[in-house]
């Protein structure tokens, strides 16, 4: 149901569409074809008008519709798997820069947040904003101890505007998904809901502060990335105070050269920092465009650093998604397209019934032309995009976090190659990828997994004999109902078999660990010429312990 406010807004939107000639586009879509004759009855269409390409008209219409539509257009530009390439390129040009709201309003919000005058909170407060965007604007300030900070203030009534405008977009999405076959495939309701959540999340500056704090902790030992400090005592939902960064914007190449910064080095630092976030931490800054990237030149004691700001949009990957993503990259590098197809099915990104050979053929036809280029010209981001577009034909479920990853990768690659056109993305990322692979397959990973899971294994161990006895006792009394349904019967057989295998493996594993403990308790003299390894622990103890741990893992990983 459209509210009065939404109806008034809808009239305003229609005026903008007419001004840019987009009524023509709307009425010729599948949804409105039955009434498209109305286009010729409208007075403004009685004379021929020279229009720019429709992609440019959409761009300018979004700019005229205001900050929420600008932000939505920016976010929508990341869905290159759904949009025509020309339209996605135009939407990527949208600049999230809008006129500032009055400083008196900013001060009112700050004073309400802290329940005291601005002069008591800050030693200095610059009334001229440093930047003004659709969600918030930023002012420079100084704290009582002289520390330089920036104060981010959420726009007044912006939540009401977001809910109103996104409500209208949702109505259009519902109509498109209901009446248009193409709309059903694009799943516009899910897309709109996803971006509505992103916009509303950006209103919560406490969330942004937590993101910045986590990223800073992840790189606290790094000399390549600097994350500004949050002033937690002054953090509120609609006001954020954060350390001010003094650096050079990464796209100001002349200033970088004047400061003696190697453009090749800082481009490689940017790529390395991004892949470290993804493959070490599974938590990454998802808005790494030039406006959020600053360079801190080298000093006598510190190397050149990259500094990040604006932590409103962050991405994260599950361990499973990270695993499949890394193995996909490795399979692509070796042109093992069958493995790429298998990984997509194993991960659940495409339906389980997808034919591997069909999917493999589709991937090969897309990727082979890309690999004909020199390796330094191949783009990770472009490769992911082409993969998403191909997988759409196989009903791939594109996860939001993967889209954020692809969009950020395109950004950071673009910045890197603007700084240094011959940048080899693959070679720069290779050390991080190799380090991740070795950590996932090496003995260190085995010990870490054992350390994390051993308490739960030990906790479950006493339950195993009892559970097995319960099953056998129920079978003896006839309490276990055996259905004629073949699937249920097979499922029961599998459960009994797995239970039996787990019991056997668990008993053997426990015996090996007990033997290891007994062996470790033997005196050095009794061991004779026993070989020792790390921490002066006998080799036999290591073998027994690792054998027990491996059997425990095997027992409880059975499905």
Residue 57: C-alpha distances to residues 23, 72, 417, 454 (Å): 11, 16, 29, 61
- Calculate the CA 310 to chain-centre distance: 15
Cα–Cα distance for residue pair 11/17, rounded to 1 Å: 10
Cα–Cα distance for residue pair 21/6, rounded to 1 Å: 22
| Class of residue 478 by CB neighbours under 10 A (exposed 0-12, middle 13-18, buried 19+) | exposed
Cα–Cα distance for residue pair 423/413, rounded to 1 Å: 9
For 155, the token pair is: 């726009």
- Calculate the CA 325 to chain-centre distance: 12
Whether 226 contacts 306, CB under 8 Å: yes
Cα–Cα distance for residue pair 469/282, rounded to 1 Å: 43
Cα–Cα distance for residue pair 84/88, rounded to 1 Å: 6
Burial 28-59 (b: 16+ CB within 10 A, else e): eeebbeeeeeeeeeeeebeeeeeeeebbebbb
For 297, the token pair is: 């030149």
> What amino acid positions are annotated as catalytic residues?
287
For 276, the token pair is: 């470290």
Nearest-5° angle of CA 442, CA 448, CA 451? 145
Cα–Cα distance for residue pair 480/491, rounded to 1 Å: 13
| Class of residue 468 by CB neighbours under 10 A (exposed 0-12, middle 13-18, buried 19+) | middle
The size of the chain, in residues, is 559
| Class of residue 299 by CB neighbours under 10 A (exposed 0-12, middle 13-18, buried 19+) | exposed
Whether 465 contacts 499, CB under 8 Å: no
């Amino acid at each position: 149901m459209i509210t009065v406010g939404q109806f008034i807004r809808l009239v305003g939107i229609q005026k903008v569409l007419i001004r840019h000639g987009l009524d023509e586009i709307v009425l010729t879509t599948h949804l409105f074809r039955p009434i498209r004759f109305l286009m010729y009855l409208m007075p403004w269409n009685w004379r021929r008008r020279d229009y720019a390409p429709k992609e440019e008209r959409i761009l300018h219409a979004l700019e005229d519709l205001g900050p929420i539509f600008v932000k939505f257009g920016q976010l929508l530009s990341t869905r290159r798997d759904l949009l025509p390439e020309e339209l996605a390129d135009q939407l990527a040009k949208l600049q999230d820069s809008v006129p500032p709201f009055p400083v008196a309003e900013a001060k009112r919000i700050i004073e309400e947040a802290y329940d005291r005058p601005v002069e008591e909170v800050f030693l200095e407060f610059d009334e001229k904003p440093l930047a003004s965007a659709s969600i918030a604007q930023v002012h420079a300030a100084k704290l009582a101890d002289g520390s330089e900070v920036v104060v981010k203030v959420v726009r007044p009534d912006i939540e009401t505007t977001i809910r109103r405008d996104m409500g209208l977009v949702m109505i259009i999405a519902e109509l498109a998904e209901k009446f248009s076959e193409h709309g059903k495939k694009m799943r516009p309701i899910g897309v709109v809901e996803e971006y509505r959540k992103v916009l509303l999340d950006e209103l919560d500056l406490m969330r942004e502060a937590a993101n910045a704090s986590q990223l800073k902790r992840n790189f606290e030992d790094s000399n390549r990335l600097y994350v500004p400090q949050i002033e937690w005592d002054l953090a509120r939902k609609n006001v954020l105070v954060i350390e001010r960064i003094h650096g050079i914007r990464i796209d100001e190449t002349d200033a970088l050269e004047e400061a003696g910064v190697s453009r090749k080095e800082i481009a490689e630092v940017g790529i390395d920092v991004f892949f470290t976030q993804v493959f070490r931490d599974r938590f990454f800054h998802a808005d790494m465009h030039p406006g959020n990237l600053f360079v801190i030149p080298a000093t006598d004691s510190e190397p050149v650093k990259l500094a990040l700001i604006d932590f409103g949009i962050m991405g994260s990957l599950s361990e499973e998604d990270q695993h499949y993503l890394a193995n996909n990259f490795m399979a692509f590098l070796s042109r093992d397209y069958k493995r790429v197809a298998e990984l997509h099915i194993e991960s659940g990104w495409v339906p389980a019934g997808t034919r591997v050979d069909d999917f493999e053929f589709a991937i090969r036809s897309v990727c082979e032309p890309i690999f004909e280029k020199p390796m330094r010209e191949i783009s990770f981001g472009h490769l992911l995009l082409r993969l998403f577009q191909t997988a759409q034909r196989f009903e791939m479920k594109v996860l939001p976090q993967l889209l954020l990853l692809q969009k950020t990768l395109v950004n950071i690659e673009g910045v890197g190659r603007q700084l240094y056109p011959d940048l080899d993305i693959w070679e720069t990322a290779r050390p991080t990828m190799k380090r991740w692979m070795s950590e996932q397959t090496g003995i260190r990973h085995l010990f870490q997994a054992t350390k994390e899971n051993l308490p739960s294994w030990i906790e479950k161990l006493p339950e195993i004999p009892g559970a097995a006895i319960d099953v056998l006792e129920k079978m003896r009394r006839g309490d276990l109902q055996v259905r004629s349904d073949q699937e249920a019967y097979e499922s029961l057989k599998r459960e009994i078999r797995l239970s039996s295998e787990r019991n056997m493996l668990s008993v053997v594993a426990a015996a090996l660990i007990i033997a290891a403990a007994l062996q470790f308790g033997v005196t050095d003299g009794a061991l004779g010429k026993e070989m020792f390894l790390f921490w002066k622990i006998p080799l036999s103890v290591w073998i027994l312990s690792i054998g027990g741990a491996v059997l425990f893992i095997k027992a409880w990983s059975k499905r």
